[in-house]
Amino acid sequence: MVVVQQQDILDAQQRLDGLLIKTPCLHSVTLSALTGANVYLKFENQQFTASFKERGALNCLLQLTEAERSGGVIAMSAGNHAQALAYHGQRLGIPTCIVMPKFTPATKVAQTRIFGAEVVLHGEQFDETRSHALSLAQSRGFTLIHPFDDPRVIAGQGTVALEVLAQVPDMEVMLVPVGGGGLVSGVCLALAGQGVDIVGVQMERYAGATDAFHQRTDSAAASTKAVGTVAEGIAVKQPGSVTLPIIQKHVNDMLLVTEQQVEQAVFELLEIEKTVVEGAGAAGLAALQTHSERFAGRNVVVLLTGGNIDMMLLSSIMQRGLVRDQRLVRLMVEMPDVPGGLAKLTTRLAELDCNIIEIDHQRTFDAITAKSTLVELVVQMRGEEQAQQVLVALEQMGFSARLVG
């Protein structure tokens, strides 16, 4: 069995010194107040390709033989490993082929091609992509660089933990997003003996490592065959043969988060910290917010592992976040169908500091009676308190009003 040692991570740190960005790890006053923990954010989304994956990819590329360099490398990746490998492969003059799932966000595909890699889109999930990559590696003579189940990659990823330890020497907990387990394995080995609790975080829909860690057979991910996730970067069914024993031996706990919890974490990181983080990268914050009582009063480092999120998805998350906070609401108002009625309604909403975004005035299809009209409005508000005030005010005017959706 292949074993990764702490010394491998120390060697990787020396090997990568000066070749990657030393990303900041900053205390968040606002998130600390909201969660009750002393929260530090490690901004790996500020690496050149916006992901921690550069660490493992470059550490592996630097250890290839001359024959392996000239023959080129191949990898299967949902995007971040792909961009990292393509970028550093181009810098080092190493031909790169990347096999990606068909539904990889367009931004990740485009960025990978920009760095000169050959991109092959194949399969709907990671396992299908992996099989095709293995086939291409054999038929075309590429050297396979696995995104997580390679000791050199694991060692490279572990350097992020050494960097954090120097930045936050009194850290007590580190929250680590987990897909196949390369990052969390490297973090565990890097911090061995430091007394830091390593807590892995997975999506409920892709809980393979968590199920294995807790020895569960009733997987929360059992029905996810045709369902996507906002955190495609950690959408891996099972951990690797190298990473799983490390996880089982060294990780302190594994937690699950939902799609909505991760969406909210992405939303809050953008609004509070003014930083763009992809779903996988926000999983740690989602876990902290969901289990805040567990981490209260402790020095917690949250790894923001990547920022490569599709703009359409980010837009949707922002809109959904505003809806959840009732800063964007849908109002259904039934009112008498009389001249000036609509003007009366919109004037009152203006007096209540509401900004109307959309309005649909329906007399025929949805009206309750022939003498009434149904008005549907999308309105900007300040939040739940104002929304309730608006409902009360409209009822006082004799209108029947309710929030929809």
Residue 32 in 3-state DSSP? helix
| Domain ranges, ordered by start, for the chain | 6-50+153-321, 53-144, 327-404
d(CA 266, CA 289): 12
DSSP 206: B
For the chain, 405 residues long, give each residue's pLDDT as a single digit of tens.
Answer: 568 999 999 999 999 999 999 999 999 999 999 999 999 999 999 999 999 999 999 999 999 999 999 999 999 987 899 999 999 999 999 999 999 888 877 777 888 899 999 999 998 876 788 899 999 999 999 999 999 999 999 999 999 999 999 999 999 999 999 999 999 999 999 999 999 999 999 999 999 999 999 998 766 554 445 468 999 899 888 999 999 999 999 999 999 999 999 999 999 999 999 999 999 999 999 999 999 999 999 999 999 999 999 899 999 999 999 999 999 999 999 888 888 888 999 999 999 999 999 998 876 666 566 678 889 999 999 999 999 999 999 999 988 999 987
d(CA 55, CA 42): 14
In this structure, the chain runs to a length of 405
d(CA 176, CA 186): 11
The CA-atom distances, in angstroms, between 403 and each of 25, 308, 323 are 41, 34, 11
Count Cβ atoms below 10 Å from residue 216 Cβ, excluding itself: 11
| β 328-336/400-404 pair status | antiparallel
CATH for 327-404?
A: 3.30.70.260
Best CA proximity match to 236, nearest among 396, 44, 53, 78: 78
Contact 83, 116 (CB under 8 A): no
CA dihedral 165, 192, 173, 220 (to 10 degrees): 130
Domains 6-50+153-321 and 53-144 share a fold: yes
Best CA proximity match to 215, nearest among 236, 177, 244, 250: 244
| CATH architecture assignment, domain 53-144 | 3-Layer(aba) Sandwich (3.40)
d(CA 262, CA 281): 9
Residue in the block written with tokens 């837009």: 315
Domain 6-50+153-321 indexed as CATH 3.40.50.2300: no
